[in-house]
Amino acid sequence: MASMAAIFTKTPNPTLSFPKPSKTQFTPSFNVSFPTRSPNRCGRNPMRVSSQLISPDGGRLVDLVVDDSIKREKMKEALDLPRIKLSKIDLQWVHVLSEGWASPLSGFMKENEFLQTLHFNSLRLDDGSFVNMSVPIVLAINDLVKNRIGDSDRVALFDPDDDHPVAILSDIQIYKHNKEERVARTWGTTAPGLPYVEETIANAGDWLIGGDLQVLEPIKYNDGLDRFRLSPSQLREEFLKRDADAVFAFQLRNPVHNGHALLMTDTRRRLLDMGYKNPILLLNPLGGFTKADDVPLHWRMKQHEKVLEDGVLDPETTVVSIFPSPMHYAGPTEVQWHAKARINAGANFYIVGRDPAGMGHPLEKRDLYDADHGKKVLGMAPGLERLNILPFKVAAYDKTQGKMAFFDPSRPRDFQFISGTKMRTLAKNNENPPDGFMCPSGWKVLVEYYDSVASSDNGKIPQAATATATAALAV
């Protein structure tokens, strides 16, 4: 069986003006073009087959972590500034910004950036070009904190769990936090029960503070998984080390079943048929906030380990790394953010499936978003023209073959669709899915997780027992 060392990578103003970051990552280019094979159906440019790592949005990858040479000075400075205590989700956004996932953003959004994001899903750069930005990355404060800041043009951001400075926010701007407008335009509804809204907006302050971030040291969680949290810069280095001529990204917040694996392996086959020599899969599970009934990150990573150890995916052509963003469950709006962030990580292809970033309506028995709108929006979204969108083929369990296969509409009765709800119900009841739905060792992890939840008497979700040991295998 493949070891985790082989599976996981081994490299530990309407026109906006973005300040140049102190550290940037430029992308080498290896131009090889092939003719496109199919007409475009979404109104965007035809797919260009090109052997290169895609350049980051804005041309440079933002790195907001201060140099070691000034770290002590900045730490001392932070202790003398007005303080903002971050929430855990705020800290996740600091992590996202610091590593350049949101390039060319250099900090929490000011009002112009916030309004462009809400109303246009994009940001205009100095040269008149646009980059996609569909979800607000903002920091809320209340009246008490606002008054404490006073006339200061800088504030210090402190860790949610201890009295430790995380970052300095400079050239600050404080502006009104119109929560109803933000929620309505991001989610398309103000219905109660939206997980991210309930967690971080409903009870947040009535003000937003934006500015330029100086992050005092790389964000670490000390949870046994930090070695799997590769920055966009580290990912790009890994892709170059592997001689990748294409990178195709697959985001997930669920366990991997054989239908997912079929989609990923078929995508690689399609890219090889198009003329690429070494397409690399970026398997990029979301690692920030998720809703209560999602499988927690530690357990998902343990399950991914088993899937890969069993050879369901090829470790030589797969890089597994955690995407640190919180989850909004904002459907077609949020999936643009997921795609944009992967451009900055070096992906030039993005796999999109049914109802990406969606959820059930919080009040009614229906999906909140049309299942096809996410992939349609990605095909038309401003600022994503450089990214090739690869819609899912529909995969289901083929009863005649005893495995996951692409759905054949000429024989619908031969296929069984196993929903996420059905999968969770089977795992909770310690029942097995049909042979070929998921590798047995991966399924066992799910059963262990739900057993541990059922046996927990303190209401806390237990962590996967081997998560730390798993992390130690990455070199």
Question: What CATH number corresponds to the domain at position 431?
Answer: 3.40.50.620
Report the pLDDT value the prediction gives residue 13, as an integer from 0 to 100: 40
Q: What is the pLDDT of residues 44-57, one digit of tens each?
A: 444 445 456 999 99
Residues 178 and 230 grouped into a single domain: no
Alpha helices (H) in 310-413, listed in sequence order: 331-344, 373-378
Residues 239 and 165 grouped into a single domain: no
Residues 211 and 286 grouped into a single domain: no
Q: What is the pLDDT of residues 181-216, one digit of tens each?
A: 999 999 999 999 999 999 999 999 999 999 999 999
Query: Is 303 contained in some domain?
Result: yes
In this model, does residue 371 exceed pLDDT 80?
yes
Q: Which tokens sit at 410?
A: 């000429």
Residues 193 and 338 grouped into a single domain: no
- The DSSP letter of residue 56 is P
Query: Is 281 contained in some domain?
Result: yes
In this model, does residue 41 exceed pLDDT 80?
no
Q: Residue 61: which region, alpha, beta or left (left: phi > 0; alpha: psi -120 to 50)?
A: beta
255 neighbors 438 (Cβ within 8 angstroms): yes
Picking from 215, 247, 275, the residue at the C-terminal end of a domain is: 215
In this model, does residue 401 exceed pLDDT 60?
yes
Q: What is the pLDDT of residues 243-261, one digit of tens each?
A: 999 999 999 999 999 999 9
Residues 467 and 434 grouped into a single domain: yes
Average pLDDT score, the chain = 87
How many domains does the chain contain in total? 2
Closest to 54 (Cα-Cα) out of 288, 370, 342: 342
- Total residue length of the chain: 475
Domain assignment of residue 306, given as a range: 4-12+223-472
Query: Is 350 contained in some domain?
Result: yes
Q: What is the pLDDT of residues 417-473, one digit of tens each?
A: 988 778 888 999 999 999 999 999 999 999 999 999 988 755 566 667 544 333 322
Quote the CA–CA distance of 154 and 172 in Å, as a whole number: 6
How sure is the predictor about 29, in pLDDT bands with cuts at 50, 70 and 90?
Answer: very low
Residues 176 and 238 grouped into a single domain: no
Picking from 181, 198, 215, the residue at the C-terminal end of a domain is: 215
Tell me the whole-structure pTM to 2 decimals.
0.87
The structure tokens 């026109």 sit at 15
More confident: 19 or 132: 132
Report the pLDDT value the prediction gives residue 150, as an integer from 0 to 100: 97
- 3-state SS assignment for residue 71: helix
Query: Is 55 contained in some domain?
Result: no
Query: Is 39 contained in some domain?
Result: no
Q: What is the pLDDT of residues 271-280, one digit of tens each?
A: 999 999 999 9
Query: Is 377 contained in some domain?
Result: yes
- Sign (positive/negative) of CA torsion 161, 162, 164, 168? positive
Query: Is 52 contained in some domain?
Result: no
Residues 255 and 321 grouped into a single domain: yes
Q: Which tokens sit at 291?
A: 């809703």
More confident: 392 or 316: 316
Query: Is 187 contained in some domain?
Result: yes
Residues 396 and 416 grouped into a single domain: yes
Q: What is the pLDDT of residues 71-99, one digit of tens each?
A: 999 999 999 999 999 999 999 999 999 99
Contacts for 455 with CB less than 8 Å, ≥ 6 apart: none
Residues 368 and 247 grouped into a single domain: yes
- Sign (positive/negative) of CA torsion 445, 428, 395, 267? negative
Residues 351 and 418 grouped into a single domain: yes
Residues 211 and 228 grouped into a single domain: no
Residues 349 and 467 grouped into a single domain: yes
